[in-house]
Amino acid sequence: MAPPGFTELYTASYPRLLRQLFAVTGDLAEAEDVVQEAFARASVRWARVGGYEAPEAWVRRVAMNLAGTTAKRLRRRTAALLRMGAPAEVPDMSPDAVDLHLALRTLPLAQRQAIVMHHLVGLPVDQVAAELGVPTGTVKARLARGRAKLADRLRTDLGKEVTRS
């Protein structure tokens, strides 16, 4: 539940701030992201921000700062990409590899990370655990659950292919 007064500020200010940030960023999705993030930061600091004379101004300042940070990051990324030149061609993937990648996307991130690092990269379980910063048993559980879901998914997809043939 939102703190008292926060919902009112959000309801009254969000459309106005979104228009302002859209004018700054030129990108509606980016404007939505920075305004939402600014409101999220205001909500956790509401005890202080709610007491300000103009809490909307605080949210706007945070959103503007976020927009500036994002713009700088994008400029640096663009410059780096231009320095690197044209991207390497992605090799063609076999139908099996495409199926595997599609099935991997259905797994939760933690399971996907464990499976890729262990089975595709070839790292031992203890190294996967160290790199992910989790106990070895957690990696083993993620691998077991992920493999079961992958097997089920691939079996289901294979069944669809056989039925279509």
**Tell me, what CATH number does 102's domain have?**
1.10.10.10
By the 8 A CB rule, do 136 and 129 touch?
A: yes
Radius of gyration of the CA atoms of the chain, in A? 23
Give yes or no: residues 115 and 79 share one domain: no
DSSP 51: T
Closest CA to 19 of 63, 73, 51: 63
In a domain, 135, yes or no: yes
Please tell me whether residue 53 adopts helix, strand or coil conformation.
coil
H/E element, 124:
none
Comparing 72-76, 114-118, 136-140, which segment has the lowest mean pLDDT?
A: 72-76
The number of folded domains in the chain is 2
When pLDDT is averaged across residues 46-60 and rounded to a whole number, the result is 95
| Cβ neighbours for 38, distance < 8 A, ≥ 6 positions apart | 17, 59, 60, 62, 63, 66
Alpha-carbon span 20 to 88, nearest angstrom:
39
Give yes or no: residues 77 and 111 share one domain: no
In a domain, 90, yes or no: no
End-to-end CA distance of the chain: 53
pLDDT digits (tens, 9 = 90+) for 90-122: 677 787 777 888 888 888 889 989 999 999 889
Query: Token digits for 146?
Result: 């992920």
Is the pLDDT at 89 greater than 90, yes or no?
Answer: no
Give yes or no: residues 78 and 103 share one domain: no
Is 0.85 surpassed by the pTM of this model?
no
Grade residue 165 by pLDDT with cuts at 50, 70 and 90: very low
When pLDDT is averaged across residues 78-88 and rounded to a whole number, the result is 79
When pLDDT is averaged across residues 57-71 and rounded to a whole number, the result is 91
